[in-house]
A and B are shown apart, each in its own frame.
Chain A
Amino acid sequence: MAKLPTPQELVASRPDFPEQDWLDVKPQFTPGSYCYPAKKETMELLHMPNPHDWDPAAEDWNLPEDWEKILCDAFAERLEKHRSLKLFMDICVRCGACADKCHFFLGTNDPKNMPVLRAELLRSLYRRDYTMLGKILGKKVGARGWDKDVVKELFYYAYQCTECRRCSLFCPYGIDTAEITAIVRELLHEVGLGIHWIMDPVKNCSFTGNHLGIQPHSFVEIVEMLADDCETITGIRPKTPFNEKGHEILFITPSGDVFADPGIYTFMGYLMLFHELDLDYTFSTYASEGGNFGSFTTFNMAKKLNAKMYAEAERLGAKWILGGECGHMWRVINQYMATYNGPAPSCMMDVPTSPITGTKFTNAAATKMVHITEFTADLIKHNKLNLDPSRNDHIITTFHDSCNPARGMGLLEEPRYVLKAVCNNFVEMPENTIREQTFCCGAGSGLNTEEIMELRMRSGMPRGNALRYVQEKYGVNHMACVCAIDRATLPPLANYWAPGVTVSGLHELVANALVMKGECKRTMDLRQEDLPNVEPDETETQVEGQ
């Protein structure tokens, strides 16, 4: 007679010495652990190689006939093209310094999510074909050949890395696992494997300019709706210049902030700030997405989407580009733009200069693109804004350093400077979770899709955990950030790990505190919720009294 297993047997504590080596344990494609695949039509429209229908949970992924040759050739080509890749394959000494630094590893405890072993998935293939020892000794020295399970494994782990670069901070050789992941994703695209949440926005950005593929006239109307909201709150309707030639500045920000809550409040913050400054600027519908979704797919796609911004600046005759609160846009601008498309069009200004303060942003001389936080920090330093931080007195805020601005461009002080100027209560999260060491939101690099919410909650756990700590210890009830993906991914993360903490962009708080010339008495914040400490109007009280 069969007996029920004991709880220990059910929980299946593993044996002391598992039979399988870590490299041989295959990932399980359970719902919630993988992203939905890109649609065949989308891939065809974008002229991606080998578009086909497939399902990550299925046994057969319908790979093209000669998939192994395609992958081997593609890998060889990348090794030839990117010297850094070859270096990363060769020089890792397996010291393990990076092993426990990845939020995916910390949340899943899956050894293959250790950066060193994540890279090893590709390195083992490299070893077989490109090292003498690997050729001779094979498996004994950790070399292996391509097979279909290896392809599946590469897919599984390349989309469990947010390319955040936290690991590379700790590597004595500076090995950038994020770039290895980027290459793996690129290789997978060669055999037609991509994910929907990335490829659909790539298609939309390519064809219509914004990530949802909203037609230009509708896009403008939505922005006007947001300007109407600004008027409701302040009595002033900010202007919304679109596609106008001859302005000094082209402003580009992620389109998510036009469509999604709570990003729209940050967008409204920009509108109000620029109106107050009477800034000589324009938006563009063609270049209305700053976030470079292409950078989650392939080098060429990233290059193409990046080029659009500069083509549009040139067409409109803008002297420089002001960029909004975005993550990947800034990584691409600071690390790759010059290689992709540099130098910037010669008609642009040598050194972008603030028309309000005269400050020359020499750091942006090559890219012609200034971060809005640098711009605003400079305004505050020169006393150009009338700010009333007490309007944000109902919040005790902390600041989440978004991976790309923090590690990809070193934007650490400016957001804090601005935040402290517009909020009276600011608390830092623990030292080993902020600034360069910041923990990812868990869903960057195109992983902010709802079907993997469960995975996002575990990869975002180290961030959520640090947030919860300051919530319990200091009563923090707000987290500011400078990235549109964060504004989408941190609210559910906070709701899970530290319920009660709201999330906003920096410029939402700036606009709350901004006292505009000729504004009506502010009683609401940008979310149209009551401001604290607002005395009721005398006239109103009288009317009520009567």
Chain B
Amino acid sequence: MNALFQDQRDEIVNAWVEAVFNTYALETTGFLRTQNDPFANPVAHMTREAAGIVYDAVAGEDVDPAQVKKAIDRFVKLRAVQDGTPGQNLGVFLLLKPILRKMVLPRCSGSDALTSYYLEAESRLDSVMLLAFDMYTADRDIIAESRITEIRNQHAQLVRWAQKVGGSPLNPAGKE
């Protein structure tokens, strides 16, 4: 059954990676494709890291949710801060579907067993998408919290001093 997905693993993973790269401006995709150093081209590295595991999970390999989460963590964090709507930023996972339908689905024709295996795979992609959705919202929450924490930290000593000298409405007597 797994041969259905394994035979073309590399092509499909690459096709998805390309589709993700194509969400960026034309002038930058050449760079994304060709530079392989994980630190000189982190976006490509994150995308490729996510692509491999997502594909294996979708194909029904032994991959647990924690592994998927770990592998897509950097990628989701990146998409959570890049330009675009949440739908556009997370929708990239769904770009795998048309690729699967083009490259895998035709091989299932005539076999109910294969077709139902294929449909399960698509459902697993939906699960990946849901995991990513949770992570995405958690990441956005971190950003919102960071803004508040930063404002607080910037003036931390000032507030402490104000409380000490009685400049704070909460502590007018100036007692510590």
Chain A residues at the B interface, C-beta cutoff of 8 Å: 7-8, 10-14, 16-18, 22, 25, 28, 30, 33, 99-100, 105-111, 114, 212, 214, 218, 221-222, 225-226, 256, 258-262, 264, 430, 432-433, 450-451, 453-455, 457-458, 461-462, 465-466, 468-469, 488, 491-492, 495-497
- Residue contact A492 to B150, C-beta cutoff 8 Å: yes
A13 in contact with B95 (CB, 8 Å)? yes
Supposing A7-B97, A496-B142 touch, asked if A261 and B158 sit within 8 A by C-beta, the answer is no
B146 contacts A109, C-beta separation under 8 Å = no
Whether a CB of chain A sits under 8 angstroms from the CB of B149 is: yes
Residues of B within 8 A of A218 (CB): 161
Contacting pair A11 B91 (CB below 8 A): yes
Query: Could you show 16 A-B contacts with beta carbons less than 8 Å apart?
Result: A8-B94, A33-B83, A109-B82, A212-B158, A225-B161, A256-B154, A260-B153, A260-B154, A260-B155, A264-B156, A432-B39, A451-B147, A454-B143, A462-B42, A465-B39, A488-B150
Contact yes or no, A497 B77, CB < 8 A: yes
How many B residues touch the partner, as a band? Answer: 35 or more
| A507 CA to B91 CA, complexed, in Å | 46
Q: Which residues of A contact B28 (CB under 8 A)?
A: 105, 109-111
Is residue B40 contacting chain A, with contact meaning CB distance below 8 A? yes
Select B23's contact among A11, A226, A466, A495, beta carbons within 8 Å.
Answer: A11
Residues of A within 8 A of B40 (CB): 100, 432
- Contacting pair B25 A259 (CB below 8 A): no
Enumerate chain A residues within 8 angstroms of B160, measured Cβ to Cβ.
225
Whether B22 and A13, one on each chain, are in contact in the complex, defined by CB atoms closer than 8 angstroms, is: yes
CA distance A491 to B25 in the complex (A): 31
Besides the known contacts A222-B161, A462-B42, A497-B74, 18 further A-B residue pairs in the complex with CB atoms under 8 A apart: A7-B94, A8-B98, A11-B95, A12-B23, A30-B83, A109-B24, A110-B25, A110-B83, A258-B157, A259-B155, A260-B156, A260-B157, A453-B143, A457-B81, A458-B81, A466-B39, A491-B153, A492-B146
Q: How far is the CA of A145 from the CA of B44 in the complex (A)?
A: 36
Q: How far is the CA of A108 from the CA of B43 in the complex (A)?
A: 9
Instruction: Report Cα–Cα, A452/B59, bound state, in Å.
Output: 39
Closest Cβ–Cβ distance, residue B40 to chain A (whole Å): 6
The 5 closest A-B pairs by CB, nearest first: A7-B94, A111-B27, A492-B146, A11-B91, A109-B24
Q: Are B150 and A7 in contact (CB under 8 A)?
A: no
Name B156's contact: one of A259, A457, A495 (CB within 8 Å). Answer: A259
Complex: how many Å from CA A469 to CA B45? Answer: 12
- B92 lies within 8 A of chain A by Cβ: yes
Chain B residues contacting A221 (CB-CB under 8 Å) are: 161, 165
**With A10-B87, A11-B95, A12-B88: A22-B150 Cβ-Cβ less than 8 Å:** no
Closest Cβ–Cβ distance, residue B29 to chain A (whole Å): 9
Partner of B37 from the list A105, A262, A432 (CB cut-off 8 Å) is A432
- Residues of A contacting B170 with CB < 8 Å? none
Residue B41 CB within 8 A of the other chain = yes
B35 at the interface (CB under 8 A from A): yes
Q: Say yes or no for B164: interface residue by CB 8 A criterion.
A: yes
Residues of A contacting B155 in the complex (Cβ-Cβ under 8 angstroms)? 212, 259-260
Closest CB-CB distance, B128 to chain A, in whole Å? 14
**CA–CA, A33 and B46, complex, Å:** 23
Could you tell me the distance between the alpha carbons of A14 and B38 in the complex, rounded to whole angstroms?
25
The 8 Å CB contact of B154, one of A106, A225, A488, is: A488
In Å, the complex CA distance between A162 and B75 comes to 24
Chain B minimum-CB-distance residue to A30: B83
Q: How far is the CA of A30 from the CA of B86 in the complex (A)?
A: 14
Chain A residues lying within 8 Å of B24, measured Cβ to Cβ, are 14, 109
B25-57 interface code vs A (CB 8 A; 1 in, 0 out): 111100110010111111100100000000000
Q: Which of A14, A108, A465, A497 contacts B82 (CB 8 A)?
A: A108
Are A496 and B23 within 8 A (Cβ)?
no
Do B151 and A259 touch across chains, with their CB atoms under 8 A apart?
Answer: no
B100 at the interface (CB under 8 A from A): no
Residue B114 CB within 8 A of the other chain:
no
- Which residues of chain B in 1-36 are interfacial with respect to chain A, using CB atoms and an 8 Å cutoff? 19, 22-28, 31-32, 35
